[in-house]
Amino acid sequence: MKNYKTQMEAAKKGIITPEMELVCSKEQITPDYLREKVAIGEIVIPANVNHTSLSAEGIGQGLKTKINVNLGISGDLKDYDMEMSKVNLALQYGAEAIMDLSNYGKTNHFRKELIKKSSAMIGTVPMYDAIGYLEKDLLEITASDFLKVVEAHAKEGVDFVTIHAGINKRVIESFKQSKRITNIVSRGGSLLFAWMEMTGNENPFFEYYDDVLEILRTYDVTISLGDALRPGCLADSSDAGQISELIEIGYLTERAWEKDVQVIVEGPGHMALNEIKANVLMEKRICHNAPFYVLGPLVTDIAPGYDHITSAIGGSIAAASGADFLCYVTPAEHLRLPDLADVKEGIIATKIAAHAADIAKNIPDARKIDNEMAKARHNVDWDKMFSLAIDPEKAQNYYESTPPKDRHTCSMCGKMCAVRTTNLILEGKKVEFCTEK
What distance in Å separates the CA atoms of residue 30 and residue 36, rounded to the nearest whole number?
10
Q: Is 228 annotated as a binding residue?
A: yes
Q: Is 70 annotated as a binding residue?
A: yes
Q: Is 377 annotated as a binding residue?
A: no
Q: Is 230 annotated as a binding residue?
A: yes
Q: Is 434 annotated as a binding residue?
A: no
Q: Is 229 annotated as a binding residue?
A: yes
Q: Is 82 annotated as a binding residue?
A: no
Q: Is 145 annotated as a binding residue?
A: no
Q: How long, in residues, is the chain?
A: 437
Q: Is 410 annotated as a binding residue?
A: yes
Q: Is 334 annotated as a binding residue?
A: yes
Q: Is 293 annotated as a binding residue?
A: yes
Q: Is 417 annotated as a binding residue?
A: yes
In sequence order, the 6+-apart residues with CB closer than 8 A to the CB of 428 are none
Q: Is 298 annotated as a binding residue?
A: no
Q: Is 413 annotated as a binding residue?
A: yes
Report the binding-site residues. 70, 99, 128, 164, 186-188, 227-230, 266, 270, 293, 334, 410, 413, 417
Report the binding-site residues for Zn(2+). 270, 334
Report the binding-site residues for [4Fe-4S] cluster. 410, 413, 417
